[in-house]
Every structure is written in structure tokens, then in C-alpha cells.
Structure 1
């Protein structure tokens, strides 16, 4: 049995992922702001360093897998914090834990992205560049400045929608670029993204402003299956990506969104290579 670190383990998809791993006999090191084995704030450099060190100590320097699930939604008022938590949080954690994953015979890492990265037409190219360049202070400042240009009605319902979608977009791009580098791929550490759609979690309900589950047929984006996802639907795929048998998939983004991305962008994939 293996040892796995799961961020965001106190609720939602993180809690479901930790539960599936434990049910399969694995040791799970949960990380969250509260109610976890390790309490740490992944929105700050100090919190990330603390989380990495505590995970390494708990795992004796060797990990079989990491599920970077922790994140915040577009309802959060501070767009700068959204960019920092959703992008720099998982990136710093995974970079810090990569050597421990390499010590496993089958190190695996999976990141929770979002189908908002492809279905929200508000990707901020400048913010993407700042995130991928690793310039956290400039990224925070830019996200906050860009936020002031949002329409008043959007500021009421989803004040950080652009920073949210952009941070998830940049995160998926970082994974794709990073997964194929020698220090990951040639050391057997596989790195992939799961892009959920509308999954009933406290974060999703908070982002939509709904106190109860909304009607899928009245949802702002298409819901081809006529139902919402559950945390367990994402946890299933987290477990699959973390299994030792998942040996030939890296740099991939798997949409687990009930068909929303396919409905909105039916011709987006595959994209032909041009010379």
C-alpha cells in the first residue's frame, strides 16, 4: 500500500479523494486550513513551504502520490488571492514534493483544474504569462487591477471569475509543459490534470450563490447528462491517475464535466498539428 498527500482534504472533492484512497488501504496525509493532518495556508509562500516540509516529515521523504485538490472559486472577492491559491499553491507543492515522488517506484501526481479554463471566455493572457513566469506579486496585482473592469452585476455574483478561469488555464498549461521534462518524465513521476465541471460541493454552491442544488436545465452552461457531478465522481478519477498501473499517461487533461466542454466546443479537439 502507498502513501499519498491530498490537499483540500477537509471537504468536497479533496475529502472524497482522501476517502477513496483510505478505503483502498493507503495512508493519506491530508492538508487543509482546518480539520486535517497538516494545517497550512497554500495561499502564502510560507504556508506552502510549511506544508511541503510537514508532508515530507510525515512521509519520511517518500511519497507514492499527490492529489493537489485545494482551491477557491470565483465568488471569492480578492482576485489576487484566487490566482495565488489556485496556481502558485499547487505548483509550489508539487515542485517541493517531486523528489519524494521520484523515490517511489511509481510516483504519481494529479491536479484539479476546471472546465472553466475552456468554457469561460475571460482568459487573461497577461495574467497567464505572469503566472507561468512565476511572478506572484505581479500576478496578484494584475488580477486585482483587471478585476476593477468587470461589470457591476458580475462583481456581485462572481468577482473573481476571470482570475479563477485564468488560474486554472495556466495551471493546466504548467502541467502540460512540466510533465514531459526529464526531471518528471524520465524519473517516472507522472503528472496529469482533472478538469471538473459543475460538481455539487460547498465551493460550487458558494460560487453560484445557491443555497441548494440548482436545476441543471437552467444552469448557465450546457449539462448534456441532465445532472450535476458529485465529489465521488472526481475522486474516482483521482484514484485512477494515482494508481501504479497508470504508467503511460502524463501531461493529460481529463474533462470530468458531464459533457459540458464537448457541448460548448465540439470541434475544439482534436486540433491538427500545422507545419
Structure 2
């Protein structure tokens, strides 16, 4: 059996993933702000270092997989915190844990992105570049400025919308670039991302309520139902399995068809010379 570290295990997709992996007989090291094996704030540099240090101590420097699931939504008032938690948190934690994943001989890492990266038309290109360059303080300032520039009505409802979609877009880019680098690929550490759509987590239910209508959702829901945390946990498990040995740099949409409905011809796209 394997040892996995999972962030965001106090609720939602993280909790469902922890249950799924534990039920399969694996050892799960949970990280969250509360109700977890390791208490750490991944929105801060200190919290990331603390989480990584405690994970490494518990696994003895050898880790079979990491699922970076912790995140916040667009309703968070502070757009800077959205960037720190959703992008810089998982990126730095995975960087710190990569040697332990390589030590296992078949390390697996999966991060939770979002279909908002491709279905929300508010991606801030400058913010993406700041994130990918590792400029956290500059990215935080840019995110706050962009939020202030949003129309007042939209800002009142979802102040972190641009930062949320942009953080997930940048995270997907980071996964694609990093997964094929020698430090990851040639060390046998596979890195992939899941892009969920509307999933009934506490984060989403805070906006829609328990009786939300999928057909009234702002984006298309072709299946006519919302996802459940277990739908994401299933794919987290698949990406972490040793049998998933020829998949890296993938972005898997688990969104009930929303991205396909909104952008049916976006993928595949031909290589141009």
C-alpha cells in the first residue's frame, strides 16, 4: 500500500479523496487549516514550509503521491489571497515534495484546477506571467488592482472572479510546463491536473444553496446534474495509481461537459508552423 499526502482534507473534494484512498488501504496524510493531520496555511510561505516539513517527517522522505486539492473560490473578498492559496500554495508544496516523490520510484502528483480557466473570460495575462515567474508579491498586488477595476456590481458578487480563473489558468500552464521537465519526467514523477466544473462542495453550495438548479447555472450543464466530491475523488485515485505510468502533463476536465459545450472546437487544435 502507498502513502499519499492530500491537502484540503477537511471538506469537499479533499475529504472525499482522503476517504477514497484510505478505503483502498492507503496511508493518507491530510493537510488543512483544521481537522487534519497537519495544520498549515498554504496561503503563506511559512505554512507551505511547515506542511512540507511535517509531511516529509511522517513519510520518512519517501512519498508515493500528492494530491494538491486545497483551494478557495471566487467569492473570497481578497483577490491576493486567492492567488496565494490557489496557485503559489500547490506549486511551492509540490516543489518541496518532489524529491520525496522521486525517491518512491513511481511518484505521482495531481492538482485541482478548474474549468473556469477556460470558461470565464476574465483571464489576466499579466497576472499569469507574474505567477509563472514566481513573483508572488507582485502577483498579489496585480490581483488586488484587477479586482478593484471590475464593475462594481460584479465585484460585489464575486470579488475574486478574475483572480480565481487566472490562478487556475496559471496552475494548468505550470503543470504542462513542469510535467515534461527533466527534474520531473526523467525522475519518474508524473504530474497531472483535474479541471472540475460545478461540484457540490461547501464552497459551491455557499453560493447556490443545497437546492440549486443545474439548468439555471451560469454555464451550461449538459448532463443536467451537478458533480459530487466523489466524482473528483475517483479521478484523483486514478492519477495516483502506479498503473498510470504513461500520463503526465494532462488536464482532465471533470465538469459534466461544460467546457465541451462552451468550446466544442477548442480541442484538439492543430500545431501551426
Query: What runs of 5+ residues in structure 1 fail to find an aligned partner?
Result: none
* Count of aligned residue pairs for this structure pair: 273
Would the aligned equivalents of 1:200 and 1:213 in 2 still touch at CA under 8 Å? no
2:210 to 208, 212, 223: 212
SS in 2 for 1:29: strand
2:54 matched residue in structure 1: 54
Displacement, 1:153? 1.5
Instruction: Report the RMSD for the aligned CA atoms in angstroms.
Output: 0.6
SS at match of 2:193: strand
Residue number in structure 1 paired with 2:102: 102
260-269 or 149-158: bigger deviation: 149-158
| CA–CA separation in structure 2 for the residues paired with 1:203 and 1:113 | 14
Give the CA deviation at 1:105: 2.3
In the alignment, the residues of structure 1 paired with residue 28 and residue 210 of structure 2 have an alpha-carbon distance, to the nearest angstrom, of 31
Q: Which residue of 2 aligns with 1:190?
A: 190
**Can you list the C-alpha shifts for 1:21-45, whole angstroms capped at 9, x where unaligned?**
0000000000000000000000000
Gaps of 5+ in 2: none
Structure-2 separation of matches of 1:268 and 1:213: 32
Confirm or deny: 8 A CA contact 1:127 1:166 kept in the other structure: yes
Shift in Å at residue 210 of structure 1?
A: 2.7
Q: 2:271 aligns with which of 263, 270, 273?
A: 273
Deviation at 1:203, TM superposition (A): 0.9
Post-superposition CA distance 1:84-116 (Å, at most 9, x none): 100000000000000000011210000000000
Q: Deviations over 1:175-227 (max 9, x none)?
A: 00000001100010000000000000011122xx2332310111100000000
Partner residue, 1:238: 236
TM-score normalized by the length of structure 1: 0.98
For the 8 Å contact 1:175–1:192, the answer to whether it is kept is yes
SS at match of 1:169: helix
Who is 2:136 aligned against?
Answer: 136
Q: 1:65-96, CA deviations, whole angstroms, 9 ceiling, x for partnerless residues?
A: 00000000000000000011000000000000
Residue 152 of structure 1: how far off its partner (Å)? 1.5
Alignment TM-score, normalising by the size of structure 2:
0.99
SS in 2 for 1:22: helix
